[in-house]
Every structure is written in structure tokens, then in C-alpha cells.
Chains A and B, each alone.
Chain A
């Protein structure tokens, strides 16, 4: 049991260490990373199957029972997120075989990549607020390295902004944790709701401290997720590194932020000042992201702005807060992890063929690479939410939830932003793929070495198939997302799974966390 929950953490950590040591025995780190990602996906599948069968499972690590020890918890939501992260991890690991040049590989890109996977898995599985902070740090330091490991001017410049703004968000996170601990005397997520209620009943004067903690948490996680007005670091930096780097960032980093936001604000602060202010910020995020994208003329910058816009959808689902809205948000989150990373990978391949991300100096791909173009069309229109592709169902659920809640601004935002997304995707398709190359220099896919061709096409094709599957057979994904949303709205099974475990040690019974 313990191993099932710990394996998704141990495997990438082991792979990271092995990838660092591999060059000494003549093994290329990229192969170690590939094997690690295969095992990681296997562990995530095993855990997902177990959660499907048994519901929420939890385990105190190191033999310490909660609330003293740190708990790992897998409920339907975290299992789904872990599965998506592991799947994307494998796709990007394959893509990176050809995308990451020898210099970056020698500098440890693959080890950092596995570290990032470990950090994301930890953030999805942990049941402890401070531990969540630590996993965010693991992700952060790995992403710092991946962002700047190439050492080019653009990467370093982007890295400076990315590092500075993320460090400030991290500090806000830490201060919020301090305030929460001061009031509740515990940091175990499942223990917090009860302790907070008890603290409020004992002394209503702690309410302002809790409000401040909730708002600080919203600020910190909002900055990590890329919510308005704290998203500036994202378009400033995400376009600079290689396609594999940006794809895994888009799939994991902002998504872990929004995952933590959903987890904290459904479980710990289900009502309070933070959720009341979230809706306008979510809508502003959607609108500004998509408008920012419309102004850009380089594919990678357009896609970076769209990451911001689409985080807004998920936050909007959280702000509406009904079961349908949360299910829609989770479905959209899963779809977005797959499709957004796929688009970034495809843009990376396109750049190798046309020589530029700039739309005026790209094009002609439809003529020389029709298969790749088909992959791009499916992903781009899934992103825009064209039925029956995958983005459509999440948006449909969000719109229905908005109508039921009579939140007309939310409905208008979902519909209008979808239209602008379609505009951006059409722009990339027309200028970047369909129109002839501005300087007539598009190389065919066959110009790439055979190994690189397979490494580029296999993961993007697989992700496109997943997109089609999510779109054409939405029943099973929607049921999984609904189960995850129900688990969020009724945390009783989650709390019981964590806190119901019999105490292992005498210290646990002594209540070592009492302030």
C-alpha cells in the first residue's frame, strides 16, 4: 500500500539521480529519463486503478500517523492529475530524445526533467500544506534549471523574470502557511477544516488571521497558476526555452498551481473572502490572456498567452463552485494539459522545419508535411473548443453550470473567449501552416534524421489520439471528472481516509502538534 502511493515519487527521484550518474558509465541520460517516465506512468496507472476500486487511499509516511506525520493521499482528483502528468511526462521524454541538444543534455536537463515530474507528483499526492510548499519548491528549482540550462541570452533574460516573480509568490505561500498553523495548530489538509472550525468557535477573533491567510494563499497559488493580475512572468518567459521544456512547464507548473488552489479552497477554505473575489479575477484572466495572444505574431508567444487564458477557465469553475462547474473545470484541466503541451510540441517541430516561430517567416507546412498538419488542426481546434473535440465538453459543462448559477458574466466570458481562441488558432493555421513560407524555405519532415522524426511524431500523434478520444468518447472522462468533483465538494471520505487511520505511535496519540 505504502509503495503504491510512494512509487510515483520514488521513481522520478531515482531516475533523476540515475540520469545524473549515467554519463559516467556511458549511458545517455535521455534513455534513463525515458525508462523513468515509462515506470512513472505505470505507477500512476496502478495508483489510478486502485483509487477507482477503493476510493480515497491515504498513508502516513515513515510510520508516523496523521496529523503528526506527513500523509500521502490519492483521491480521484489527485489520481487523475497524476495520470495526466505522468502521461505527458512520457510524451515529453520521448520528444526530448531529439529536441534536447547534447549541450543541454550534458548540463543535466534530463535529471531536472525527472525532478520536475517528482515535484509535480508530490504536489498532487501530498496531504499536508507545508509539504505542498516543499513540492512546489522542488518543481520551482527544477524548472529554474530547465529554463536557463541552455544559457542563451533569451533564456537567461526569461529566467531572471521567472525566478524573481516565482520567489515572491513562494514567500507569500510560506507566510500564509505560518498564519494557518498559528490559528489551527496543524497543517494536515484533512485535519485543517475541523481544527479551523474549532478555533473559530473558541475565539472568533482569529477570523481576520484566517481571512488574511486565505487571501495570501490565493495570491501565492494565483501567481503560480498564472492568474490575473499575477501572470506577467508567464508570457515573459515561457516562449524562450526549447519546445520540450515549455511543453512540460505548460502541462505541470501552472496546472499544479491551479490544482493546489482547487484543493485548498474546496477543503480548507470552502467559504470565505478568497472565493468571493475569485470570479472577476478568473474572467479577467481569460479575457486578458486571449487578447494578449491575439496581439502576438509568434506562435510560441501566442501559445504562452493562451496558457494564461485557459487557467482562467479552471479558476472560473472553482469560483462558480457547483458540482457541474467543478467537473467541467477538471475535465477542461485534463484536456488542456494534453492539448496545450501537444500544440507547443507541434510548434517546436514546425519551427525546426520553417526556421522561425514568427508567423511572417513560417508557413508552407501543409504542402510538405500534411500528416503533421492534420495533427495540428485537431489539437488547435480542440483547444478552441470546436465540437466534438475535447475542449468542447469542459466548456459545455462550465457554460451549463454558469447558466444554472445565473452567472451571466461567466457564460459570456466562456463563449467570447472561445471565439478569440478560435481566432488565434485560425491565425496560426492560416499563416503558419497553410500559406506559403515567407522566404520559401520550408523543409519537409523527411529532411530530419529518421530517429528525430520518430521522436517528434510519435508523442504528438499519441497526444492527438488522446485528444480525439477525450472528445469522441466524453462519457468516461466526464464521469471521472464528476467523481473527482464530488470528492471535492464532500470531503468526508477524504478526511476519513486520512484521519481514520489508527495511530501507530504513542507520540501521535499525545498530539504533538498542539500549539
Chain B
């Protein structure tokens, strides 16, 4: 059973890296989301997989029954998902703001903070003014 999850984590991470290499911010954000999904799977599987009983404490007892699933990884993954959701929301908002303000969603063309030639004072128009990658309509809204 573990190998399915190992494969899942690998595929998720590989897809995430592939997306992050794209020259569009939105794809980079999706890539990060996929990679963090892979990390969640790793955390979950590392707590050992079992199909015996859910990690529920019966009424009156103080601990889950013997052989129950390990509750800690589930709690960790839940926390990580919530945090990842917040971070992804921020990253998306930042993508939209950057696209509006900088006029491009191509990270390679974003040269406000790091102009191509550091010697030249930032008075001259930065290289980002070139017609860049056309962003999809969703990102422009």
C-alpha cells in the first residue's frame, strides 16, 4: 500500500517542480501548491498506514484503542493544509497585484528589484517594458 502513496508523493512533487519552472507566476503558484501536497502525503504516510480502526477515542476511554491509526500525522497534515491554504491565498493575491502593477506575469521579465545592469541607476526604463508573456484573462481580473 505504501508504494501507491510514495508514487503519489513523487508524481505530485515532479508535477509541482515542472510547473514552477514555467515562466508564468500563476503556474509557479500552482506548482508550489502541488509540492506542498506532496509534503503532506509524506507526513501522512510516515505515520504508518493501517486500515484497522480510526483514531477515535471511545466514550469513557482515555486513549484510542490499540492498533488504531496514528492521530498525530493527521493533525500535522491538517495544520499544514490550513497554513498552506493561507499561504497559497497570499501568493495568488500577490500574483494578481504583481501582474497589475508590473504589467507582466513572467518572473524573468520582473526586473524592478534587480535591474539587468546594476551599474546603471534606475533612471532609464527597465528591461521589463518589453512586450512580455501574455497573461491569461483570469489573472488579469
Contacts and interface: CB of A to CB of B under 8 A. Distances in A.
Interface in A141-163: 141, 144-145, 148, 151, 153-161, 163
Q: How extensive is the interface on chain A, given as a class?
A: 35 or more
B107 to A, nearest CB: 6
Nearest to B25: A160
B2 to A, nearest CB: 11
B121 A154 contact: no
B134 interface: no
Interface residues of B, number: 45
A340 B24 CA distance: 35
Contacts, number: 134
A237 B90 contact: no
B87 A179 contact: no
A200 B112 CA distance: 51
Given A141-B86, A167-B36, A177 B76 contact: yes
Contacts of B79: 130, 134
A361 B121 contact: yes
Contacts of B42: 174-175, 178-179
B141 interface: no
Interface in B86-108: 86-87, 90-91, 94-95, 97-98, 101-102, 107
Given A156-B102, A157-B110, A515-B47, A507 B63 contact: yes
Contacts of B80: 133, 174
Given A168-B35, A515-B70, A182 B98 contact: no
Contacts of A151: 97, 101
Contacts of B111: 157
Contacts of B113: 154-155, 157-158, 161, 236-237, 239-240
A202 to B, nearest CB: 14
B90 A156 contact: no
A198 B66 CA distance: 21
Contacts of B63: 507, 510, 512
- The secondary structure that dominates the A interface is helix
A167 B118 contact: no
Interface string B40-59: 10111111100000000000
Contacts of A301: 118
A159 B94 contact: yes
A160 B91 CA distance: 8
A506 B97 CA distance: 51
16 contacts: A148-B94, A157-B110, A157-B112, A158-B112, A163-B94, A164-B91, A170-B36, A171-B32, A171-B39, A174-B43, A181-B46, A181-B73, A182-B47, A295-B118, A510-B63, A515-B70
Interface of B: 20, 25, 28, 32, 35-36, 38-40, 42-48, 62-63, 70-73, 76, 79-80, 83, 86-87, 90-91, 94-95, 97-98, 101-102, 107, 110-114, 118-119, 121
